[in-house]
Amino acid sequence: MTNRYKAITAGWKARLKALSRAWYRFSRNPLHVVGLVVLLLISLAAGLAPYITPYPEHAGPYTNFREAGLPPSKAHWFGTDRVGRDVFTRVIFGYRFSLLLGIVVLALSTPPGVILGLIAGYYSGTWIETVIMRVTDIFLAVPPLVLALAVAAMLTPNLFNAMLAISISWWPWYSRLIYGMTLSLREQYFVRELELTGASKPHILLREILPNCLGPLLTKLTLDMGFAILMGATLSFVGLGAQPPTPCLGTMVAEGAKRLPSEWWSTIFPALAIVVVILAFNLVGDGLRDVFAEEEV
C-alpha cells in the first residue's frame, strides 16, 4: 500500500483524471447511479420544499377537519392525515428535517471520532491509546440506538437534542474505524520517512495519514447518513424527536400506525419515504465502495 492519495494533493489535472476514473467505477453498476439520482431528487425536493409542494402551509400548525382522513386523490397525492394536512407535502418537508438531521449528526460526530481515532492509532502503545480506546469501548458497550434513546429521553424532546443524542452514540464508530486504519498506515514507509525528516505531528496525521483513509471513510459516511436518518426516524417514532406540528417522518409513521388499516396512507407513505431515502444512501455508499476498492487484475 503506497501513498496513492498523493493525487488528492497534486494538481487539478490529476484530480480530474482521478474523478473520471472514479465515475467509471461507480457507474459500472447502474443501480448506484439510480441511487445517486434519487438522492439528488430528494435533496432538491427537500431544499425547494416551500416552493414545490402543493400545500406548504400544511407543514406548520394547520388543521382542517373537513379535509381530514381523505384517501389519495388528485388533490392530495398521498391523502390527508387526521387533522387534514396533506401527507405528500409533509413527507417532502419531513425529508428536509431528515436530511438536516443526517448532516448535523455526521458533522457533530465525525470530527471528534476521526481525530481521536488518528491520535489513538498514531500513539499506539502508549497510555494515550489505552485511554481513548477504553472510552470508545464504553460508549460502544450498548447498541447506539439504546444510548441515543437514553440520552434523548433525559433531555427535552426536540430536534436538536435528538441530533445531539445520536451524535453522542455515533462518534465511537468513527474512532474505531480510523484507529484501525491509522494503526496499519503508521507502519508504512512514507510515514517513517516523514518522521525522520522532522515533519510535525499534525501534518503527518492530517495531511498524510488521513487522506489515505478517505476511501472507507467516505463510504462509511454515506452509509451512515442512511443510519442516522433511520435512528432519527426511530427516535421520533418513540416521541423523542421533533415535536408536532413539525413534520418528521418517524412521527408521521407513529401517528398513522394508530389508525391502521383504515387510513393506511398516513403511515405507509411516510414509511416508504424512509425506506427510499435509506436505500438511496445505501446504493450510493455501495458505489463508493466500488470506487475505492483495490484494483483487480
Partner 1 sequence: MGKYIAKRLLQSFFVLFGLSLLIFFIARVVPGDPARAALGNLATKEQVERLRTEMHLDKPFFIQYYYWLIAVLHGDLGKSLYTQRPVTQDLLQFLPATLELMLFATLISLVVGQIMGLLSGYFRNSWFDGLFRVISYVGVATPPFVIAILLLFVFSQLLHLAPGVGRLPLGMAEPPRVTGFLFIDSLLAGRLDVTLMALKHMLLPAISLAIAHIAQEGRITRSSLIDVLQKDYILAHQVCGIRPTKLIFKYLLRPSIIPTVTVMGMDFAFLLSNAFLVEVVFMWPGFSRYAVTAMLSKDLNAIVAVVLVIGITVALVNLLVDLTIAFLDPTVRIRRGG
Closest distance between partner 1 and the C-beta of residue 252, in Å? 12
Closest distance between partner 1 and the C-beta of residue 272, in Å? 8
Measured from the CB atom, the residue of 19 and 293 that comes closer to partner 1 is 293
Measured from the CB atom, the residue of 55 and 237 that comes closer to partner 1 is 237
**Is the peptide bond between 261 and the residue preceding it cis, with omega within 30 degrees of 0?**
yes
Cα–Cα distance list, 242 to 170, 246, 285 (Å): 19, 6, 27
Plot region of 262 (φ>0 → left; ψ -120 to 50 → alpha; else → beta): alpha
Give residue 43's identity as a one-letter amino acid code. Answer: S
Give CA–CA dist 221/289, Å, rounded: 11
Measured from the CB atom, the residue of 84 and 157 that comes closer to partner 1 is 157
Q: How many CB atoms lie within 10 A of CB 42?
A: 20
Measured from the CB atom, the residue of 34 and 206 that comes closer to partner 1 is 34
Closest distance between partner 1 and the C-beta of residue 287, in Å? 13
Interacting residues with partner 1 (CB under 8 A)? 134-135, 137-139, 141-147, 149-155, 226, 230, 233-234, 237-240, 253, 257, 260-261, 264, 267-268, 271, 274-275, 278-279, 282
Measured from the CB atom, the residue of 164 and 204 that comes closer to partner 1 is 164
Measured from the CB atom, the residue of 114 and 271 that comes closer to partner 1 is 271
Closest distance between partner 1 and the C-beta of residue 256, in Å? 9
Closest distance between partner 1 and the C-beta of residue 271, in Å? 5
Report how many helices (DSSP H) and strands (DSSP E) the chain contains, helices first: 13, 0
211, burial (CB in 10 Å: exposed 0-12, middle 13-18, buried 19+): middle
Give CA–CA dist 22/190, Å, rounded: 25
Closest distance between partner 1 and the C-beta of residue 208, in Å? 29
Q: Please check whether residue 59 is in contact with residue 93, taking contact to mean a CB–CB distance below 8 angstroms.
A: yes
